[in-house]
Structures are given as C-alpha cells and as structure tokens.
C-alpha cells in the first residue's frame, strides 16, 4: 500500500474490493490555484468520481450536460467522461467532497449496473455529508478496507434509491420540512459563529423542543451535533490547508478556546487538531 498527499496527487488505497484512489474535501472554492486544480475540465481513464456538493452555486459540466450546483446534490462521472466545476457568484462559493475510485473486478461486478446505468445527478440527504467525511478520514488514515466498504454502501444507497431521489424525478429535496431547510441554511451561513440550539430556534421562530424534534426527524441528528460537525468539517479543511495556526482556526470558527476546540475536534474525528494537520497536510 502506498499513500501520497490528499490534494493534487493520486494515491492508491487498496481495500478488499473497491479501490479508492483519492478522497478530498474542498471548502469554499472561489478561484486562484485551487480553482485551476479542482475546477479544471478533465476526465479519468478507467476511474469513476463522485462530487457531493454541500453549498454554493455554479454549474457542473458533465460531458455535454450542464447541471446546477446546489447543496446536497451529488454527481457521478464515469471513465473517460469529461467534467468540470464552474463556480457561480463569489459570495456563494462551493464546498464539496470528491471521491475518485475504481471497482475491483470481478469482486465488484455487481455494482457496475448502478455505476454505468444509474442516475448521474442525485439528491442526497443532509446528514450523508458526514458519511463522506468519515470516508475521507478513514482513507487518510490508511483504513482502505473500511473506506472501500463504506463507499460501496453509499453507492448502493444512492443508486438503489435513485428513482425517488434523482433530479430526473423532480424531487424538491431531502429536507422537506420548512423549518429544517431554514435551519440548514442558517447553520451554513453561521458556521463561524457561536450559536446554540435555543438561539437557532429563536431565529427560526419556533420553540426549542419543537425545533429539536423536527430537525431530528428530518436529518437523523440533533441540531447542535449537526452544527458542531459542520464546524469541525470546515475547521479540518483549514487545518489541512496549513496557513493558519491552530489557535487562529479555533477563534475563526467560534470555539471558546484552543483547548475547547481541541477537545471537540478530537471527539468528532478521533484526532487532535495537531494530529489531523500532520495526517492531512496539503503541500
């Protein structure tokens, strides 16, 4: 097994079946060298790729088709299919996970009909972003077998439910409750702020108890845990980038102190901020 840096280079992690070549989280892509790298028009010979968009606006080009980028929307590209990302407004940068992989044959032959004959644009559920986060974490820590099995599970989940979830079905989105939709938008917008459950409920104009109940029903997770995971997800990108000191990252995302940040970050990722930076550092 050999592993190269998480950004900009291909790296191979061999599991029992699925072969994950790269997994990356790109936080708020706007322009410059990052856009030149991640947004370029390209294709992968023999490989498939998933782009799971979390926020932002723009266009995803896939062959001759154009798709609008929106939160909780994923795209699947096949071998040799040219694709690129065209960000929209600067005030609405895109954040997304990208996973480059290749099925191991004949072991993974059962998933090929889903990959080659399934939907190319799918609506995802809000909490599924954290499954991609876990996949990236596992792959980055050389747990290729676990990462490969998680990817297979996600592919069967997404494509197996495609008729009820895909863009072609005209589905409005996974979070149909208006309070949940507004809460998700509020959290994305406020990821750098200190915002508790009661404050969120007040901004939404509902009681704290009602807010917690409908949010759990819509996402499978409590509002505070979801919001904290958003902070950790974004902070992890900053740590990997390496330009800010750990204390500055803690302050930027509204944690009480570097100690509090370290404790929360390790609880959610299994790594301290220092260990995470050392493991996922982008060079």
Q: What percent of the chain has pLDDT over 90?
A: 50
What's the pLDDT score for residue 35?
67
The closest alpha carbon to 221, from 149, 129, 124, belongs to 129
Res 163 pLDDT > 80: no
3-class secondary structure, 13: strand
Q: What is the pTM of this model?
A: 0.76
What's the pLDDT score for residue 142?
86
Res 49 pLDDT > 90: yes
Res 5 pLDDT > 70: no
Instruction: State the residue for tokens 């979390």.
Output: 54
CATH topology (fold) of 13-169: Jelly Rolls (2.60.120)
Residues with Cβ within 8 Å of residue 67, at least 6 apart in sequence = 59, 60, 61, 73, 75, 121, 167
Domains in the chain: boundaries: 13-169, 178-280
Instruction: Summarize pLDDT for 76-100 with one digit per residue, the tens.
Output: 999 999 999 988 877 788 899 999 9
Residues with Cβ within 8 Å of residue 49, at least 6 apart in sequence = 76, 77, 83, 98, 99, 100, 101
8 A C-beta contact, residue 101 and residue 20: yes
CA-to-CA distance for 53 and 101, rounded, in angstroms? 17
Strands lying side by side in the sheet with 58-62: 65-69, 58-62, 83-87
25-34, 98-107, 116-125, 219-228: range with lowest mean pLDDT: 25-34
Q: What percent of the chain has pLDDT over 70?
A: 85
Res 120 pLDDT > 50: yes
> pLDDT band at residue 17, thresholds of 50, 70 and 90?
low
Output phi, psi for 49, to 5 deg.
Answer: -145, 140
**DSSP readout, 45-94?**
TT-EEEEEEEE--EEEEETTEEEEE-TTEEEEE-TT--EEEEE--TTS-E
3-class secondary structure, 216: helix
Output phi, psi for 272, to 5 deg.
Answer: -75, 160
Query: Exposure pattern of 69-78 as b/e (b: 16+ CB <10 Å)?
Result: bbbbbbbbbb
**DSSP designation for 176:** -
Average pLDDT (16-40) is 76
The closest alpha carbon to 114, from 101, 129, 128, 97, belongs to 101
The CATH number of 178-280, from 2.40.30.10, 3.40.50.800, 2.60.40.420, 1.10.10.60, is 1.10.10.60
Residues with Cβ within 8 Å of residue 257, at least 6 apart in sequence = 250
> pLDDT band at residue 183, thresholds of 50, 70 and 90?
very high
């Amino acid at each position: 097994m050999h592993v190269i840096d998480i950004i900009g280079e291909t790296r191979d992690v061999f599991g029992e079946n699925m072969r994950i070549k790269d997994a990356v989280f790109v936080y708020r892509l706007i322009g410059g060298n990052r856009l030149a790298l991640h947004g370029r028009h390209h294709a992968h010979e023999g490989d498939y790729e998933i782009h799971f968009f979390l926020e932002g606006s723009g266009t995803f080009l896939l062959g001759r088709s154009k798709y609008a980028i929106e939160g909780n929307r994923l795209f699947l590209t096949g071998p040799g299919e040219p694709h690129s990302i065209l960000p929209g407004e600067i005030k609405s940068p895109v954040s997304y996970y990208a996973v480059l992989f290749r099925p191991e044959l004949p072991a993974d032959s059962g998933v090929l009909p889903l990959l080659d004959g399934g939907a190319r644009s799918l609506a995802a559920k809000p909490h599924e972003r954290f499954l991609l986060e876990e996949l990236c974490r596992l792959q980055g820590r050389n747990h290729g077998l676990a990462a490969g099995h998680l990817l297979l599970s996600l592919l069967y989940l997404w494509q197996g439910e495609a008729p009820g979830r895909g863009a072609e079905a005209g589905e409005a989105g996974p979070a149909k409750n208006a309070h949940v939709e507004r809460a998700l938008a509020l959290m994305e917008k406020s990821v750098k702020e200190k915002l508790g459950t009661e404050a969120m409920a007040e901004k939404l104009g509902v009681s704290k108890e009602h807010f917690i109940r409908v949010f759990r029903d819509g996402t499978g997770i409590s509002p505070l845990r979801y919001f904290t995971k958003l902070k950790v997800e974004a902070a992890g990108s900053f740590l990997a980038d390496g330009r800010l000191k750990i204390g500055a990252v803690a302050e930027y995302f509204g944690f009480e102190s570097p100690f509090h940040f370290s404790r929360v970050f390790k609880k959610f990722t299994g790594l301290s901020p220092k260990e995470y930076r050392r493991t996922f550092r982008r060079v």
